[in-house]
Structure 1
Amino acid sequence: MQIRSVLLKIVGVLSLLVVAFLPSQQSFAAQSSAVPAWLAAHIGYGDGQIAPVVLQRARALYFQKVGEGAVRNPCYFAMDATRPGDMGGGRLGRRFYVICEAEHAFRAIPAGHGAGRDLKGVVNFSNGRQCARNFGNAMDSELTTGGAYVTAETKTSYKGYYRVSAGRDAAFMRSFVQFDGEGEAANARRRAIGGHPAVVLRGMCRMRSPGNPYAKDGYVVLGKLVDYSAGRSNGCTSWSPSDARQLIPMIQNNPTTLYIYPESRDIAAVDRAVAAGQSLAGGPYWDASCLKQIGAPKFWRTGTLEPVIAQYRRDHPAPHWKPLPICEGQ
């Protein structure tokens, strides 16, 4: 009995030590509630600043996932898709945020929003390059979905070759970071939503390259490398090639959180305020310059839009597949 009593005491002491060294949900909640002064200096509505509601939700998501043990990365991401992407004159809006609180580091960079689509004669839910009006989570909609995400695996794949200089070509390998979403963004993996460099091959042809490991029937794809950092994406978050080279290694095998604003509730609140002729001062948030341009935002729900897209696909089948042409001079 005496030995059993001693053992129970030892177990009790060890349990207390484990609990003492485990961070509690309350401690993370307390840590996330107070914005440090150095970070508060970046709050605002100008280019490169972060709106209060965006930072608040991004921090809450990050500290929640840290508290759950799902994230250990010292940095987290946020994006404000209500701000302009292309500001004109060759300037890009800085609306994607990289925040590393332990290092007192805050960085704002450009990022692309979902282009949406114009189903001719049926419905138009496309977005311009400068401001996004349409948001949604339907398959094949190419729209941005706001909400909570955690970065997942990174895949790097071969896309073809591009000409570096006369007589010299290079393989184009593009990395893609998968996002796993929650709530209305829960179908992010099914939609292949993630982050990647805003670079693509255009004007492709087949170049003879026997023995090349990427060759198919003795040919590889050759195209022109196009940087569309000032453009739109197919629903993903796109970064400039230089920014992507810095961001992707930060989260490779080290997931973190990404919060994208706005969610459907924000869009609905802004839409109601606009319809009622109310000022957004002190109410729901939207970038003022973009709201002036778009009039009012709209969220397209899966149940509404997916049947329309599916019917459009049936009515407009893809053209018969044709192989790429042979490159000139082959």
Structure 2
Amino acid sequence: MIRSITINDFIGLKENIPLIDVRTPAEFLQGHIPGAFSVPLFNDEERVKVGTTYKQLGREQAILLGFDLTGSKWSGFIKQALQIAPDKKISVHCWRGGMRSGAMAWALDLYGFEVYLIQGGYKKYRNWVHLQFENNYMLTIVGGMTGSGKTKLLHELRLGGQQVIDLEDLAQHQGSTYGTMNKMVQPTQEQFENNLANDLKSMNSEQRIWAEDESLTIGKRSIPNAFWHQMRNAVMIDIQVDLEHRVATLTKEYGGLDKTFLIECTERIRKRLGPAQTKNAINAIREGPMEEFIRLALVYYDKTYRTGLLKRDVDKVYTLTIDPEDLPASTASILNFVSNIQSAKHNGHYTG
């Protein structure tokens, strides 16, 4: 049996029904619904042939070519589907919910699957993604200079049951010029947005959601404008950590990275760091001590952070000193601090 459902219906399903994406491998790589399985009806070259035939000879000739290209593949498709959904209940989509997903749904239905066919396909899903960023969220931002341990604090908040959006994890980048750590590979912009929307849909928008203070871009990925503006207008807790602790933390985190990688990254901020500072930083990378490289880099990053802080509404920025060595205590402090802000706002003493 084939059931035609909307993307909202699919996302709202209480039952976890496996989803297969029958678009080409290239389309899937560009962006896909998180958790979907790639079962391409055509490979990239075959799709071009079918598309060209459709334009030049019409729909019927394109359909015939499609059956010629997939004729020997159907048993393989069904075997893949059985591995993905052994209980024979599955959902299917293509780009616009057209012939590709329709053909796959027909074949799976013929074999005895219960098939949920998503109307409008991936295109409708992308519309849904963009709408998630327009929703209003009760955001609270954790700020602080580089090396303050913001990410660790967010992880501790999550362990304590708080709602947390980890943008750097979603973007696979730690935000600075050194942010890939010489190992992380960023998703496409499209997939970054899909992953962010997927996280947001699981959040209660009427309860607090924590996120780290970020620039509009994280590496080569951009935070969707509507969501980023909410971040900029949210209350921010500017955590304060001793400079020496920050230097020690960053030396441990970055000091063991490949020196060529560190030098190449440092060269990228030469204009902002300055020729003398850049030269000294590179010498420290090559010859040590690594702590000196970190201190020189922090001159630039601390200045950048302070500049960004000045662009925020001063009435929504609150400073809190924490002990980064005691994460449970720091988490308790920030939760209590925010609770007091909220109480002050409720009693009319809050100006944000």
Q: Which has the higher helix share?
A: 2
TM-score with structure 1 setting the length: 0.23
Bigger RCO (CA 8 Å, 6+ sep): 1
Bigger share in strand = 1
Structure whose alpha-carbon radius of gyration is higher:
2
Output the TM-score relative to the length of structure 2: 0.22
